[in-house]
Structures are given as structure tokens and as C-alpha cells.
Amino acid sequence: HNQIANEAAWEVIREQGKAIDAVEAGVKIPEADPNDQSVGYGGRPDRDGNVTLDACIMDETGNAGSVCFLKNIKHTISVARKVMDETPHVLLAGQGAWEFALSNGFQTENLLTEKSKAEWKKWLEEAEYKPKINIELHDTIGMLALDDSQNRAGACTTSGLAYKLAGRVGDSPIIGAGLFVDNEVGAATSTGMGEAGLKSVGSFLV
Ligand code: ASP
């Protein structure tokens, strides 16, 4: 699915579009894909069975928008973009982010698919929780783009760690941790155990 995401972003770049529009278009692909169980619709829930989403976006001027602990809105990245473009803030959380999304025309929908629900129910039988840093069990999408005007942008969107505690937010919506763009230096984004990225302000550091 993430190859298709690259293609969607490339369409924008090829038409001399802006990097910020490319990354938004790109990461919307896995957000809508029920088979991607780490992002958007179809994402694995927290341990209470709620799919809670985090995302952020950043442009070449250092402008940024972000949402965290957002429920029932598929295209989290586009809500983050609205925060960036249309508010004086960077980060909206939870109920406030949801209400902001609704007031901007986003639809509320159930994001827990039967597949993710069945896996969660199975997990509940043992309810073992020992997340560890690894290279296998994560698939947040972070995307970076460079456009014809030599401008960089990035986007990062996720349903976070599966079966996390309710209210847990990882690195993905935090500017500097899950994503950072500096048009002179470069850009970085991350996936994996968000707690590690948060403690190191990983994307900024890289
Ligand atoms: N980085 C994400 C988080 O900690 C998870 C992931 O990449 O799978 O929320």
C-alpha cells in the first residue's frame, strides 16, 4: 500500500505541485486502506477497543499542524493540515480535534474493521502487553517530499501502538519526534516505538 502512496504523492510532484500537497495526498492512501492495520481506517485499537489516531504535517516554512487522540475521522492528516492552514495553533487533541474536524466538513465514521476487532478480541484473551523496539511490528506511514521549487514537506499518520493504554499518544503527531522538516538541512520522519522517538526528539535530532 505504501508504494501506491508514493505514486499518489508523485502524481502531485510530477504536475509541478507542492511538496506539502504531495505528502498529504500520499499518506491518505493507507489512511483509507482497511488492510493497513497501523494507520487510519482498519487501524488496530487501544486495549478498550477504540481506534485513536495521531498525525502531523509540516511545510518548508516550518509551519506545522497536528492532531492526536482523534477518534472516528479517517483522514487524520487532512485535519492536521486544516489545523496548520486555518488556526493559530499547532496541535489539537481528542474531543476538540474531533469537533474541529466536524466543523470543517469531515465525516464521523466507525474505523474499527471486523478484522481488527476480531484480532483485538483474541488479544484480550491473554492481554499481554510488552511493546519493544523492533523492525517488524509497526507500519506508521511517514512521508517526505521534495518538489520542483526545492521545497520540502513531510507528513506522518498512525493508529499508534496496538492495544496501547487509552489516551496514549506516541511520536507521530509530535513535531520534532515523529516528523521534522528544515528546508535548508533536510527532513526526517519515524516509525517504530514512539516512546523512543519522544525521548530523543528523534526526527529533529536526525
Ligand atoms: N510510531 C508509532 C507510535 O508509537 C507506531 C508505529 O510506528 O507503528 O505511535
pLDDT digits (tens, 9 = 90+) for 87-112: 999 999 999 999 999 999 999 999 99
Kindly state if the Cβ of 159 falls inside 6 Å of ligand 1.
no
Q: How far apart are CA 76 and CA 66, in angstroms?
A: 9
CA 43 to chain centroid, in Å, comes to 11
Collapsing DSSP to helix, strand or coil, 178 comes out as coil
Arithmetic mean of pLDDT, 63-76: 98
pTM: 0.97
Q: How far is the CA of 137 from the centre of ligand 1 (A)?
A: 9
Q: What is the position in ligand 1's atom list of the atom closest to the CA of 193?
A: 4
Instruction: Name the strand (E) or helix (H) holding 205.
Output: helix 202-205
Closest CA to 188 of 176, 174, 171, 170: 176
- What is the DSSP pairing of strand 91-93 with strand 64-71? parallel
Which residues are catalytically annotated?
Answer: 140
Contact 151, 183 (CB under 8 A): yes
Residue located nearest, by CA, to atom 5 of ligand 1 = 160
Q: Is 138 in the pocket of ligand 1 (CB under 6 A)?
A: yes
